């Protein structure tokens, strides 16, 4: 009999040198844990790269029937991207966010298209991009202290990496708009009532509930399960692939504007964002798209061009602007 190609065989998790995730396999279940509890399991670019590797390994391993995604500890499942990383890097180099989102999209698509049922083990806060990974899972079991929220419009971004696509499918249009526009907490029980999670249990019973659901999934035909998942994915696939490339480009351009500068640095500095300052600037006829006004002033002293309108002195020679 012809030997199988090694590329289509799963590896021992110990062979991976993961730093930001924990990867385990046992009893037909692969478990991927985002291991950054010091930042409420916000994912770094390294975490996204490692998640993608783990999802692919679990996909090709015929000894894996179910994939479980969770976060370390009891405080957070995942709180999305590392806003400090965003503020320090992508507001300075917006084009690099386009590159970052390539890693993000790849992790999502490998999870979404793994051909095996996936369970979100919700052990705490699910926020922003964390909810987008949560919704990329097929099923969800939440601890009763968990809460879910989107944060995009609160921090100067748009939740177009899964939330704008998947929420209307999962909870309906009105509730999706409420979640995305208001950015308010949804407690676990309400999340179940709205269809965001399948089951809510006490934290002490979470692992038992996940194991129980996993066992039910394991005892099904794998090929039928894979194709059932593919069929049920239709509307998610349609909305994702029709919009995510556009979102990747728009968000990259948007990172050079005032809203993410203000929103993300406010988050990092632990202060309220100045929403009304930007609104008032626009209402007064200013350029609210730019942190310091549109680049349409010239320096009469040194000839520097395209200086921000709000500069009182030239950024090159220091002369007072007329």
Q: pLDDT tens for residues 119-155?
A: 999 999 999 999 999 999 999 999 999 999 999 999 9
Tally the residues of the chain.
322
Helices (H), the chain: 45-60, 83-85, 94-112, 129-136, 152-155, 163-171, 173-182, 188-194, 206-218, 222-232, 234-254, 258-268, 275-283
Domain count, the chain: 1
Q: What is the pLDDT along the chain (322 residues), one digit of tens a residue?
A: 888 898 899 999 999 999 999 999 999 999 999 999 999 999 999 999 999 999 999 999 999 999 999 999 999 999 999 888 998 999 899 999 999 999 999 999 999 999 999 999 999 999 999 999 999 999 999 999 999 999 999 999 999 999 999 999 999 999 999 999 999 999 999 999 999 999 999 999 999 999 999 999 999 999 999 999 999 999 999 999 999 999 999 999 999 999 999 999 999 999 999 999 999 999 999 999 998 999 999 999 999 999 999 999 999 999 999 8
296 CB neighbour count, 10 Å cutoff: 12
Domain annotation covers residue 66: yes
Q: Over the stretch 147-188, which tens digit does the pLDDT of each residue have? A: 999 999 999 999 999 999 999 999 999 999 999 999 999 999
Q: Is residue 317 part of a domain?
A: no
**In this structure, how many other beta carbons lie within 10 angstroms of the beta carbon of residue 265?**
20
- Domain assignment present for residue 268? The answer is no
Block residue for tokens 């370390």: 72
Phi, psi of 96 (to 5 degrees): -75, -20
How confident is the model at residue 190, as a pLDDT? 98
**Token duo for residue 139:** 């099923």
**What was the pLDDT predicted at 322?**
83
Burial class (CB in 10 A: 0-12, 13-18, 19+), 56: middle
User: For residue 1, what pLDDT is reported?
Assistant: 86
Cβ neighbors of 145 (< 8 A, separation 6 or more) are 74, 124, 188, 203
- CATH number, domain of 233, equals 3.90.226.10
Task: Specify the pLDDT at position 6.
Answer: 87
Residue 98: C-alpha distances to residues 50, 112, 130, 157, 310 (Å): 19, 21, 19, 14, 29
Phi-psi region of 175 (alpha: psi -120 to 50; beta: other; left: phi over 0): alpha
| In-domain check, residue 95 | yes
User: From CA 117, how far away is CA 214, in angstroms rounded?
Assistant: 9
Backbone torsions φ then ψ of 118, nearest 5 degrees:
-125, 140
Query: Has residue 116 been placed in a domain?
Result: yes
The answer as to whether 40 is a domain residue is: yes
173 close to 31: Cβ distance less than 8 angstroms: no
- Cα 315 to the chain's mean position, in Å? 37
Q: Is residue 72 part of a domain?
A: yes
Which of 134, 154, 129, 158 has the alpha carbon at shortest distance from 146? 134
- pTM for the whole thing? 0.94
Q: Do β-strands 139-143 and 76-78 pair in parallel, antiparallel, or remain unpaired?
A: unpaired
The residue assigned the tokens 């969800």 is 140
Is 87 a member of any domain? yes
Q: Pick from 103, 79, 100: which is nearest to 90 by CA?
A: 100
What count of Cα atoms within 13 Å lies in the side-chain half-sphere of residue 168?
A: 13
Angle between helix 163-171 and 234-254 (nearest 10): 140
| Domain of residue 25, residue span | 6-254
């Amino acid at each position: 009999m012809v030997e199988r190609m090694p590329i289509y065989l799963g590896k021992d998790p110990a062979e991976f040198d993961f730093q930001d995730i924990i990867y385990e396999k046992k009893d037909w279940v692969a478990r991927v844990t985002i291991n950054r509890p010091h930042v409420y399991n916000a994912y770094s670019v390294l975490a996204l790269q490692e998640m993608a590797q783990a999802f692919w390994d679990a996909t090709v391993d015929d000894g894996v029937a179910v994939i479980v995604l969770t976060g370390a500890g009891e405080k957070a499942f995942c709180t999305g991207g590392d806003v400090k990383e965003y503020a320090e890097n992508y507001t300075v180099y917006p084009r690099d966010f386009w590159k970052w989102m390539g890693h993000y999209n790849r992790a999502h698509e490998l999870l979404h298209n793994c051909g095996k049922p996936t369970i979100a083990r919700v052990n705490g806060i699910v926020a922003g991009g964390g909810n987008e990974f949560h919704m990329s899972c097929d099923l969800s079991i939440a601890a009763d202290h968990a809460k879910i929220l989107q944060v995009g419009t609160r921090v100067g971004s748009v939740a177009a990496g899964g939330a704008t696509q998947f929420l209307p499918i999962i909870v309906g249009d009105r509730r999706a708009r409420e979640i995305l526009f208001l950015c308010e907490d949804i407690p676990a029980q309400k999340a179940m009532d709205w269809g965001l999670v399948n089951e809510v249990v006490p934290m002490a019973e979470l692992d038992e509930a996940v194991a129980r659901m996993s066992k039910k999934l394991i005892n099904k035909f794998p090929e039928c399960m894979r194709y059932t998942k593919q069929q049920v994915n239709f509307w998610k696939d349609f909305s994702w692939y029709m919009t995510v490339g556009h979102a990747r480009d728009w968000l990259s351009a948007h990172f050079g504007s005032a809203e993410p500068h203000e929103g993300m640095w406010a988050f990092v500095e632990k202060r309220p964002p100045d929403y009304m300052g930007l609104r008032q600037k626009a209402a007064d006829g200013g350029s609210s798209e730019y942190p310091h006004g549109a680049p349409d002033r010239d320096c009469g002293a040194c000839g520097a061009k395209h200086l921000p309108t709000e500069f009182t002195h030239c950024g090159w020679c220091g002369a007072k602007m007329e």
